[in-house]
Amino acid sequence: MREIVFDTETTGFDPGTGDRIVEIGCVELLNRIPTGATFHVYINPERDMPAQAEAVHGLSAEFLSDKPLFAEVAEQFLEFIGMDSKLVAHNAGFDMTFIEYELKKCGLLPPTRDRVVDTLILARRKHPGGGNKLDDLCARYGIDNSRRTKHGALLDAELLAEVYAELAGGRQAKLGLVEVVREEFSVTTFSAKKRKARQSSQLNSDEADAHRLFVASLGEKAIWLDYLDEKTLPAAK
């Protein structure tokens, strides 16, 4: 199962009032495990950067001035997320509103909302009444977010991928997989040892005669007589 965990950074809260996307970060998951494939781009919003927004993500208008326009990276973004992969985001309605606005502005069809998984909703269901911001969830699950001094789309997507695995029971699933593998390995190892033991017990007739003579020399009360199984030994010469 392929899923894309993604995040955006913007100039504000509402594309309807002129706010734009300035960064997109995506992380590819297969069966909820990161593959290492990512999509990351900074985008020139063609407008100023409000101080409040810059304080959150640290991206200035000057830094973004030579970056590509959204229209120049839209096709690459759509190619990365694919046609049917689930899209995972925290407070996904916010990100999707901007994605839909930008894609429609380019004359492109945005992904449908039924593809979207909102981890904020998952977190609220699993931890009602608890703090469910990304930092809160990282702290709850012991995920190192020390690099997150400011919001960043790719870093936040990477952290969210770990959070999502926990929300979906990923730690237990991984533990179960390890246990199964260990059990199978143990059985295989044990079977190999049994085969080796059987092979080593296949004595030739000379070795069998020597064994009989040795056991006979121990006397009538020797415990080894109880283990002398003539059915498993080659016939005496």
**Which tens digit of pLDDT belongs to each residue from 176-196?**
343 333 333 333 333 333 334
Compute the C-alpha angle 224/230/236, nearest 5°: 110
By DSSP bridging, strand 86-89 and strand 21-30 are unpaired
**Which one-letter amino acid corresponds to residue 104?**
K
Q: Per-residue pLDDT tens for 162-181?
A: 999 999 986 544 433 433 33
Domains of the chain: 2-168 (3.30.420.10), 203-237 (no CATH)
- Per the CB < 8 A criterion, the answer to whether 233 and 213 are in contact is no
- Judge contact between 44 and 68, C-beta under 8 A: yes
Catalytic residue IDs: 151
pTM above 0.85, yes or no: no
Q: How sure is the predictor about 236, in pLDDT bands with cuts at 50, 70 and 90?
A: low
Q: Give the three-class secondary structure for 125.
A: helix
> From CA 88, how far away is CA 84, in angstroms rounded?
12
Give the containing element (helix H, strand E) for 91: none
